[in-house]
Structure 1
């Protein structure tokens, strides 16, 4: 194996790991921001009751769901960094599209207007953390 190929692989691995690390820090920030926003909404009277089961979404549930989908976003960013010629632009397009799609379930849930509005806002909180952070990282790791 020649040293140029090994060096290229090491550089790519370093870029992928750097993106994943930045993504995980952003994920933690998104989880905290979303949970705090949900707690604030609950403090001003939003009940987060989902009519189907009649259950109330617990605060830790916001953190878990935010963490899960943020990690999915990191996976998409890593895949695009590895296999796309324009990873940042494709990531933004994909992430914004998925965010818009994620706004549909709250609108169809039958929850109160306050809960629906809060849920939509809580979908946008992690998007405003994750999308710019990962897009910026993709730009700096490819250019």
Structure 2
């Protein structure tokens, strides 16, 4: 006899796991798009600064920072920010608050090297501004994406608008 007891249904990941995977993937995709935007914005801002006479020469070795260098460094540290956001979404009860606090703190720390570089005033000011450009793109974008993926809840008792 031929029996047809097989329903053809294949067990897949639990619904919660699928939802969680989609949340992480959505955050990563949003983060990578923001990274591209931050890289373009920072490189354009550096090109504009260069066009008005900023030389981007750093006294250590007397080398000039090339425009593609701004894109590479922005891309690298933006990806670090994405990794932090993903980790907080995965393991923190309050990922939005923790991310913003961490990202703002790291941005503040990133302002120290230009101040200590010994570069001329124009280069120092431009470098400080160029640290703030990607932060202005990445921090709000990732915070908003985290807020969406946590259902608007920050984990605190504060009402979010």
Higher share of residues assigned helix: 1
2:83 aligned residue: 75
1:1-143 matches, within 5 Å, as 6-143=14-151
Query: In 1, Cα distance between the equivalents of 2:61 and 2:46?
Result: 20
How many equivalent pairs are there?
Answer: 141
Unaligned runs of 5+ in 2: 1-10, 152-161
Query: In 1, Cα distance between the equivalents of 2:96 and 2:83?
Result: 13
**Residues 28-77 of structure 1: CA deviation (Å, up to 9, x unaligned):** 00000000000000000000000011000000000000000000000000
Query: In 1, Cα distance between the equivalents of 2:111 and 2:135?
Result: 11
Give the structure-2-normalised TM-score: 0.86
Deviation, 1:106, is 0.1
Query: In 2, Cα distance between the equivalents of 1:53 and 1:107?
Result: 17
Unaligned runs of 5+ in 1: none
SS across alignment from 2:61:
coil
SS across alignment from 1:32:
helix
Structure of higher CA gyration radius: 2
Give the structure-1-normalised TM-score: 0.97
Which fold has the larger relative contact order, with Cα–Cα distance below 8 Å and residues 6 or more apart in sequence? Answer: 1
Return structure 1 stretches of 4+ with deviation > 2 angstroms. none
RMSD over aligned Cα, in angstroms? 1.2
